[in-house]
Structure 1
Amino acid sequence: MIRGLYTAASGMITETTRTDVISNNLANVTTTGYKKDETVSSEFERVLIRRINDGQVAPQIGELGRGSKIDEIYTQHEQGSTQQTGNTFDLAIEGKGYFVVDTPQGTRYTRNGSFNLAENGQLVTNEGFPVLAEGRPVQINGNGNVTIGADGRIALDNEQIATLDFVEFDDDRVLKKEGNSMYVAPQGERSRQATGKISQGQLELSNVNVVSEMVKLINAYRAYETNAKALQSEDSMLEKAVNEVGRG
């Protein structure tokens, strides 16, 4: 019975974590460039069940599960749909690639191309972090026509002034989320020129499917509820064993 308590509790912990991940996905369904997270769970190793008091050799009658755990929470980097905005400094990435941003914590990467032009002429994120071009903040001086090509080349009145840092990694899974649609790469991880394309006047939307996430949320809730009822049953049987069987 004690083992049953731990088994049910582990299932509840697993589903609580899964629910948190799904809830975060749903909360970011309108966040530009957001990539949804997924949980991977597994069972603890099963043990054999043998019948006792049945001669010298106890026959095997089955297996007993010992609960579950979350193995990994990983980010799905699949492409999100794009939305036309018409804004000069809205940039969407089609295919592989990340913009490079300078933050107080160091260099960060993002697919959120909702940029603005600061008063000092720098191209910045919504948080005010400079967007980098050739390792330096993008500086756009003047009120002329700004065009940004598919490869990141920035032109002011048809005169090229900079090229956005536009990179990709061999495996996107090495990147770790850091909030505000930013990613950090492990120390020593090398990037290369991105193979994707930049589209001016568009934004990449979140890749979260609301209907799919709601179905997952319902399933997680039902699994949690099942484990909670199992925990209550185990607790009730343990109470009887202590207060009635033990007393007899």
Structure 2
Amino acid sequence: MIKGLYTSAMGMLMQEASLAITTNNLANVNTTGYKKEKITFEEFPNILEQRINDTKIADGQKFYKAPRVGRMGTGVILDRVTTDHQEGSMSSTGNATDFMIHGKSYFALQTPDGIQFTKDGQFHVNSDGYLTNKQGFRVLGYRGVKPTSPMISEDGTPATWLNPIKISTPLGLTVDVNGQMYKDNQTISQSLLSVSFKDTNQIEKVGHNNYKRISGEVLVNKKDEISQGYLEKSNINIVNEMVNMIKISRAYESNSKILTGIDELLGKAVNQIGTLR
């Protein structure tokens, strides 16, 4: 019975964790390029149950083992929180410095904490003429022919060809699907960089809708296209998240009732059954 207390309590804690993820997804439903998070659980180790009176060694059986009744689950624990990198839908803005990058490629940013990556292509030109994101981080690009070497090597060393994009003014700026930039229909030496990863597990969220590399090479994108004048919406389905929230609420309520029921039974065991008469 005591085990049931812990099992139901763990169930309530895990539903609280699920609710935190779901509410965060709902809060970011209108965040450009936001990727929803998913939470997964794993079963807590089972306990091997044996018959109570069979723990004694039977007569004449020195190596006797108590028969197994079976295994009893002891609840669940948090496994991990993952990011769903499925592409969101397109939203037309018509702004020259708004970009959507398709597929599982990302824009690269120069930040005080090193190079970071984002799907949010809502950029602007700052007072120094650099293309920056909402936090003021400079957007990275390259000059000349598209590089074939990794942007960041296996050991974490950034490429020497990286350059922050400087365009002075967005007037007359156009960018093709490969990131090549033009000013008044004339090719300029800079291009907007898009990068990709062999595995999305190589990156993790760091806040402000940005990601950082945790392992592996960062490759120059060769296939995913860039759309100027568009932004990528979040990939959150508000209806699914609301349904999920209701399911979480019901599961939490069920665990709470189980916990209350066990508490009442324990109270009776102590106050009634255990009373000497």
Which TM-score applies when normalising by structure 2? Answer: 0.83
Cα distance, 1:221 vs structure 2 = 1.1
Who is 1:126 aligned against? 134
Gaps of 5+ in 2: 59-64, 143-161
Change (3 A) 1:142 1:202: closer
Q: How does 1:165-184 map to 2 (within 5 A)?
A: 165-184=193-212
The CA deviation at 1:60 is 5.5
In structure 1, the residue matched to 2:158 is none
Provide the rounded CA distance (Å) in 1 between the counterparts of 2:210 and 2:200: 13
- 8 Å contact from structure 2 (residues 93, 229) kept in 1: yes
Query: Alpha-carbon deviation of 1:247?
Result: 2.4
Q: 2:110 aligns with which of 97, 102, 109?
A: 102
* One of 243, 255, 258 as aligned partner of 1:227: 255
Q: Secondary structure at the match of 1:140?
A: coil
| CA distance in structure 2 between the aligned counterparts of 1:206 and 1:42, rounded to whole angstroms | 28
Partner of 2:175: 148
Q: Find out whether 1:86 has 2:94 as its counterpart.
A: yes
Q: Please name the residue that 1:30 is paired with.
A: 30
Render the CA deviation track for 1:135-168: whole Å, top value 9, x for unaligned: 2221112564101111111221223131122110
* SS of 2:137 mapped into structure 1: coil
The residue that corresponds to 2:62 in the other structure is none
Question: What's the counterpart of residue 190 of structure 1?
Answer: 217
- Aligned residue in 1 for 2:239: 211
CA–CA separation in structure 1 for the residues paired with 2:172 and 2:271: 83
- Contact kept in structure 1, 2:88 and 2:234, CA below 8 Å: yes
Shift of 1:44: 1.5
Task: Calculate percent identity across the aligned residue pairs.
Answer: 40
How many angstroms does 1:234 deviate by?
A: 1.2
Residue number in structure 1 paired with 2:8: 8
Query: Retained in 1: the 8 A contact 2:43–2:73?
Result: yes
Alpha-carbon separation, structure 1, partners of 2:170 and 2:238: 41
Aligned residues: 247
What displacement does 1:49 show? 4.5
Q: What SS does the corresponding residue of 1:89 show, helix, strand or coil?
A: coil
Gaps of 5+ in 1: none
Letter of the 2:120 partner, please give it: N
Query: Match of 1:172, as an amino acid?
Result: T
Tell me how large the CA RMSD over aligned residues is: 2.0
Deviation of the 1:220 alpha carbon: 1.1
Pair 1:199–1:239, CA change in 2 (3 A): same
Distance of 1:89 and 1:33 partners within structure 2: 15
CA contact (8 A) 2:32 2:120 kept: yes
CA distance in 1, matches of 2:53, 2:253: 36
- Name the aligned partner's letter for residue 44 of structure 1: F
Q: 1:9 corresponds to which letter in structure 2?
A: A
* Contact 2:96/2:170 (<8 A) preserved: no
Instruction: Please say if residues 125 and 168 of structure 2, whose CA atoms lie closer than 8 Å, have aligned partners that are also in contact.
Output: no
Name the amino acid aligned to 1:181: N
- Note if contact 2:85-2:104 (Cα within 8 Å) is conserved in structure 1: no
